[in-house]
Amino acid sequence: MASIRSWRQPASLTGPYRVALDEIAQLNTVFSDAFTERYRRDGMVGVRVPHLNPQVWRYAIEDADDGALVWRDARGDIAAFNMIHRSGTEGWMGPLALRTDHQGRGVGGDVVRYGIDWLRARHASVIGLETMPRTLDNIGFYSVLGFDPGRLTLTVTLDAESHGAPAALLSHLSSRDRCDQLDAARALLQSMRAGYDYTREIELTESLALGETVLVNARDTLAGFALCHTAALVEGRSREELRVLKLVLRDDADVPSLVEGLRDLARRSGTRRVAIRVQGEYTPLYRQLIAMGGRVRWSDLRMSLASHPEPAPSGGGVVLSNWEI
């Protein structure tokens, strides 16, 4: 989620600096205040955006690596941040936000432009972000910076449900089989999106104990996988959703098998439902999920830099990539 508003006024921030893990509390405060103010401007006065789970922040920081950047005020406090991610040649920014007392001073454009330059320097073929579709000034702001609006991303949820045999999980494999499946996952994705690579996110999710990778095999060959987080998104709350971050399938016909595995994992992990963020280009998948009892819970607008657009789906299969944490 991205929320920055910028006007042409002077600002006195320095940076960017690499954020430290012991600054997560500061990130949470800036994040919560900025998005609460954004909702207020959109007429949702009673909404208070909660703090995120610190482990989710840690995932965002470690996934972004040297792209986890902050800008500081004269006292050294965090006034803006941008988590810049790169999954192979797929680049995206989020979350990013600007502290409310610095909004309207021309900082926002600099923060986003730095992210663009950072990704270009690392040869990203895609540069994107997601924002709130009802927030017209955000859309206009990113458009001025060179981003084009795409279709909506719709978050579809399905209730947790047992399906007999447990889902096939990467974490349950032997070390050798796990390495083989990671190699197969990388090869499968790159056969569908040249240069993309989600193995870093898969390994980081496992090392932080945030979730699982569900596998789908057909005729002893990896047909697809879904990287998902079962950890609570909001600080201090119980698990409510199993959130799918990445989903790759060679063939649409395997959607039911993968969704059944995700619903079963949700039930076994004590999570109420599965949340799948469906990019608007995948209408057949969206229809399948609705037919399975899926409900639309949220919408985001996906935007890509005009010079670095996201490739359109070609042929069969699905590649879903969540540009959120």
Q: What predicted TM-score, i.e. pTM, was given to this entire model?
A: 0.93
pLDDT at 42: 78
- 47/134 Cα distance (integer angstroms): 15
DSSP H or E run through 274: strand 273-279
pLDDT at 10: 40
Look-up: residue for tokens 């090869």?
A: 187
Task: Report helix angle 24-41 to 54-64, nearest 10.
Answer: 100
For 133-144, letters b (16+ CB in 10 Å) and e give eebeebbebbee
- 157/135 Cα distance (integer angstroms): 24
- Rounded to the nearest 5 percent, the helix, strand and coil shares of the chain are 35, 30, 30
Per-residue pLDDT of the chain (325 residues; tens, 9 = 90+): 555 443 333 457 999 999 999 999 999 999 999 999 888 887 777 889 999 999 999 999 999 999 999 999 999 999 999 999 999 999 999 999 999 888 777 799 999 999 999 999 999 999 999 999 988 889 999 999 999 999 999 999 999 999 878 899 999 999 999 999 999 999 999 999 999 999 999 999 999 999 999 999 987 899 999 999 999 999 998 888 999 999 999 999 999 999 999 999 999 999 999 999 999 999 999 999 999 999 999 999 999 999 999 998 887 899 999 998 8
Query: By the 8 A CB rule, do 59 and 204 touch?
Result: yes
pLDDT at 316: 82
